Structure 1
Amino acid sequence: MVPDALAGFAPRQGGLGSGQRLRSAWRWTLHSLALPALDILAAQIGILFALTALPALHDAGEAPLNWDLPLASALGAAMLACHRILGLYDTAGHGALERLRLRVIGAVVAPCVTVTILAAFSVAATPALPVIILACATAGAVGLLLEALVCPVLIRHGAWGSPALVVGSGPAAAGLAERLLRQPELGLRPIGFAADRISGEVAMPLANLGTVAEAARLHGSKAVAVVAMSGEVASGEIARLPFHRVIAVPESGNLPTLRVNFRSLGGDLGLEVSNLSQAVLQRRLKRVLELLITIPVFMVALPVIGVLVVLIKMISPGPAIYVQRRVGLHGRPVAVLKLRTMHTDAERLLADLLARDPAAREEWDRYMKLARDPRVLPGIGDFLRRSSLDELPQLWNVLRGDLSLIGPRPFPDYHVARFGSEFQQLRMSVKPGVTGLWQIAERSNADLRRQEALDTFYIQNWSLWLDLYIVLKTLPAVLCARGAR
């Protein structure tokens, strides 16, 4: 029997040709076995690395036990059990940040489960406890990397997540459908929309599958119903929808969307949210963690900064490192350090271009950046900006406490002034950072509206998990130079 959540991948008994049945069977197989297989592979790599890194423990004892087979079997079983219980094999509706959190939790719990499995089979695990811990940590990191590599492949073959039916037809439903189409990694693949009352306010980007009852008869056992809570569907109707799985998406407005806990208040549904960005303990912990990362990175970066300083001075006379005043925490000015990538008369060059080129003026007004900027130094300037190496001196700002490693980007006064006053106050309530959410998502491709949306999401949903996610995504974004100007 195929579980209901996976029924969309199972071959049907009639109405499909042999080729379609084969493709459906292939998708179902990929969906069911890919992630468990990756975890088993990660466990083998973790064991191999741990036994290689700790050979003394591996070979200890009068009659050395060959740990490879029992440890690999126990760790593989532990990872499969932990990830199954945590829900990592249910790829429908879990975002990348939530999956990262669950994988880290799994890596922490896996050593205990591994020791328990070994003890159950009368295998003494105490001498190998360091091996088990190192193997679990390595397997967790490898599993995270393998999932990141394989996820796009599974998405491309329709083997990630479940089919999704959008319930509703108004602006909220259209926006929800567009977000699901834009973010296939969420694992909710829109196949159409259903609504008892069709709204003509906005065109839906999906096919109309009829009323909710008609759509349920066709797809109720295999599709996840994703309900746009905008007044078209009453809250009392959600529990009566004829679908195995239903996800209700309320219009959150300015509410955080992460760290939300549900509370039953005498029959009423309550949402409990916490503003961790203002919690003293969390902010101190963030400071400790960013120093642990920044100090060694800064020491490694010092020789690189020295070489780049020499190259800049060879191309353009004047200081190689310049100081720019940016808006910091509580609106206080921050002296941000950068390697100079522009001519010393950059402001005059910009003013001349904007005065004579309307297209450049329009681009500047929208992005506050230019794709072809006459201020940038030839060769070295473009390289530094695309690689983000010009921002290496800002690690000193982090050590001084002027900036955080992760946070909203520190902007000059003229940039901040383009935002609304309410968002300006929200932005100044946290310390700006060297990298942040909109840098890894869009970089310079984000216009002012998108910058505001991403920074608002980061501040309202901040957690150490979110910072860890941004740190892990920053390196690929920099190496690919996606959207950099």
Structure 2
Amino acid sequence: MTTVRTARGDTSPLLQRGIPDTPHRTGGCHVPVIPFLARDVLAALAASVTVLLLFDRWFVPAALPAAWILSLAVQRAYEQHCLRAGTDESRRVLRSAGLVAVGASVAWWFVPGSGLLHDTLFALPITATATLLLRQFRQLRIRAGWRHGQNLERAVVVGPAPSAALLISILRRDSACELEIVGVCLTDPALSEGVVPDQVPVFGGVEDTVEAVRHSGCDAVIALPGPELEAAELRKLSWELQAQGVELLLAPVLADVAAARLAVTPVAGLPLMELHGPTLSRLPRIPKELADRLLAAAGLLVLSPLLVVIALLVRLDSAGPALFKHCRLGLRGHEFTLLKFRTMYQDAEQRKAELAALNQYGDGALFKIVNDPRVTRVGAFLRRWSLDELPQLLNVVAGQMSLVGPRPLPPDEALALPEDIRLRRLLVKPGLSGLWQVSGRSELPMEERVRLDISYVENWSTALDLHILARTPGAVVRGTGAY
């Protein structure tokens, strides 16, 4: 076990939890710039070759790679804080394309007959699309676990113990996150036991932050809001971290707020953070409604042979109907009949009382048992691969559900929630998949599932839906919490 001397020279008793030996910081960041440059050059070269083959003109193909890299650099796309996944890459790429288009327009003014503007405007969509795809491929590699912790930025969290624990859980929940928490410095270190995860070292108090940075070799410090972290102390900490070549990141008070809803507004020289309201009106959701129904109808058409086979297997495995129908609450509290393939024996409801002691959620309205004896053999297989949910595509086509949204709850489970939480969940349609389904499903405690559902409602966007849909196959294959 390694002990660490604090900034005051004594040994903090909190370090008895054990801190792994790590090399001292040598400078630089763990997110390499060269792979980004290589991918962006490759994207520009692909567009350049296309232009050369189609139009047999060489000027744009020769200049585009350098112009593209320069425009991305102007948009700060290679600064360390912009290299993390999910840091508004699309906006920077589109702005870079606009810069190149403006430059090509100016050059075309002097040589109008060269085809320069035509070739540039033809190449830019290819370049921008290829750049975004190659950068997204990097995030997919991270989610798939191909990097195994390599090149992740290391961070130390500073702030209250409960807020630090919440931040750590959020970062660990996102498999695409490139921040690895290597320790915490707490404003209330006495509360760390039982709050901060045991595998996260506690370096001591706020005054020990600089020493913790030196010991852990971290790249960033994340400061959480709290009365103990006043402006003067944060300013002093930023100066000390700057001398170490370490970033200081300030976390907002609201943890479950999408970056797109936040904007910095200067007032009297003070940078105030403006929180935009969630998108809850129907007009922006019309494309989502159309896409949901079209994709669900296409899915039913393609999967119809599989649905027939599953229905036959359910009927042959045990007595009873192939489909299970249950009352659920939909948009604005309207009840509808949810469809699933039956995965339990017909007397499952009668046996519920005798198994109440095994309910992993205690005596609440939600009832879930690991290795539930009421589940049939075919039912266990269907649950493991989430095939029992496929009939809900009919609910999506009928407009009762969406492909992505909070999970539909029975009325009794919904009534068990606080009224404000329940009403907020019902502002959008329930979904076939959702944030908590791709984050651990039944492995998550009820409070975490409710929090993720509310986070989806508050931060909905088309990009969030696509992100959840992209993570859904991986969650199904992993099978975490599928029982």
User: Residue type of the partner of 1:156?
Assistant: G
**Is this contact kept in 2: 1:103–1:140, CA < 8 A?**
yes
Q: Find the counterpart in structure 2 of residue 463 from structure 1.
A: 461
The correspondence for 1:336, drawn from 328, 335, 338, is 338
Partner of 1:437, secondary structure, is: coil
Distance 1:24 1:213 in 2: 17
The correspondence for 1:397, drawn from 392, 395, 398, is 395
Distance 1:480 1:352 in 2: 31
Distance 1:230 1:389 in 2: 46
Distance 1:300 1:128 in 2: 41
Query: After superposition, what is the alpha-carbon deviation per residue over 1:431-484, rounded to whole angstroms, capped at 9, x for unaligned?
Result: 111111111111121221111111121112222221121121112212332321
Q: 1:87 to 1:398 in 2, by over 3 A?
A: farther
User: Residue type of the partner of 1:359?
Assistant: L
What does 1:281-296 correspond to in 2, within 5 Å?
281-296=283-298
The correspondence for 2:141, drawn from 124, 149, 152, is 149
Match status 1:423 vs 2:421: yes
Partner of 1:326, secondary structure, is: strand
User: Residue type of the partner of 2:286?
Assistant: R
Q: Find the counterpart in structure 2 of residue 164 from structure 1.
A: 155
Distance 1:193 1:318 in 2: 55
What is the identity percentage for the equivalent residue pairs of Structure 1 and Structure 2? 26
User: Residue type of the partner of 2:35?
Assistant: A
Distance 2:178 2:37 in 1: 17
Q: Which runs of 5 or more structure 2 residues have no equivalent in the other structure?
A: 1-22, 109-113
User: Residue type of the partner of 2:406?
Assistant: P
Query: After superposition, what is the alpha-carbon deviation per residue over 1:266-298, rounded to whole angstroms, capped at 9, x for unaligned?
Result: 345543323333223222232234345334333
Distance 2:213 2:466 in 1: 43
What does 1:22-61 correspond to in 2, within 5 Å?
31-41=32-42
Q: Which runs of 5 or more structure 1 residues have no equivalent in the other structure?
A: 1-19, 52-56
Q: Find the counterpart in structure 2 of residue 476 from structure 1.
A: 474
What does 1:235-384 correspond to in 2, within 5 Å?
235-241=231-237, 242=239, 243-244=241-242, 245-252=247-254, 259-354=261-356, 358-360=357-359, 365=364, 368-378=367-377, 380-384=378-382
Distance 1:386 1:118 in 2: 55
Distance 1:76 1:83 in 2: 10
Compare the two structures and name the one with the higher helix fraction: 1
Q: Find the counterpart in structure 2 of residue 13 from structure 1.
A: none
Structure 1, 109-118 or 454-463: larger mean CA deviation: 109-118
Q: 1:445 to 1:255 in 2, by over 3 A?
A: same
Distance 2:399 2:369 in 1: 30
Q: Find the counterpart in structure 2 of residue 435 from structure 1.
A: 433
**Is this contact kept in 1: 2:39–2:131, CA < 8 A?**
no
Q: 1:462 to 1:267 in 2, by over 3 A?
A: same
Structure 1, 460-469 or 286-295: larger mean CA deviation: 286-295
Q: Find the counterpart in structure 2 of residue 9 from structure 1.
A: none
What does 1:190-209 correspond to in 2, within 5 Å?
190-194=181-185, 199-203=189-193, 205-208=201-204
Q: Find the counterpart in structure 1 of residue 223 from structure 2.
A: 227
Superposition RMSD on alpha carbons, in Å? 4.2
Distance 2:360 2:161 in 1: 36
Q: Shift of the alpha carbon at 1:411? A: 1.5
Q: Shift of the alpha carbon at 1:264? A: 2.0
Structure 1, 270-279 or 176-185: larger mean CA deviation: 176-185
Query: After superposition, what is the alpha-carbon deviation per residue over 1:141-186, rounded to whole angstroms, capped at 9, x for unaligned?
Result: 34312332157555623x233x434334554345546655776854
User: Residue type of the partner of 1:74?
Assistant: L
Match status 1:126 vs 2:122: no
Structure 1, 102-111 or 240-249: larger mean CA deviation: 102-111
Distance 2:439 2:185 in 1: 31
Distance 1:431 1:177 in 2: 30
Distance 1:93 1:130 in 2: 27
**Is this contact kept in 2: 1:169–1:193, CA < 8 A?**
no
Distance 1:24 1:269 in 2: 33
**Is this contact kept in 1: 2:261–2:277, CA < 8 A?**
no
**Is this contact kept in 1: 2:29–2:219, CA < 8 A?**
no
Distance 1:76 1:298 in 2: 48
Q: 1:386 to 1:224 in 2, by over 3 A?
A: same
Distance 2:223 2:141 in 1: 31
**Is this contact kept in 1: 2:160–2:188, CA < 8 A?**
yes
What does 1:75-90 correspond to in 2, within 5 Å?
78=68, 80-81=69-70, 84=73, 89-90=78-79
**Is this contact kept in 2: 1:164–1:224, CA < 8 A?**
yes
User: Residue type of the partner of 1:419?
Assistant: L
Q: Output the TM-score relative to the length of structure 1.
A: 0.74
Partner of 1:431, secondary structure, is: coil
Query: After superposition, what is the alpha-carbon deviation per residue over 1:69-97, rounded to whole angstroms, capped at 9, x for unaligned?
Result: 938x836863x45655555545658875x
Q: Output the TM-score relative to the length of structure 2.
A: 0.75
Q: Shift of the alpha carbon at 1:239? A: 3.5
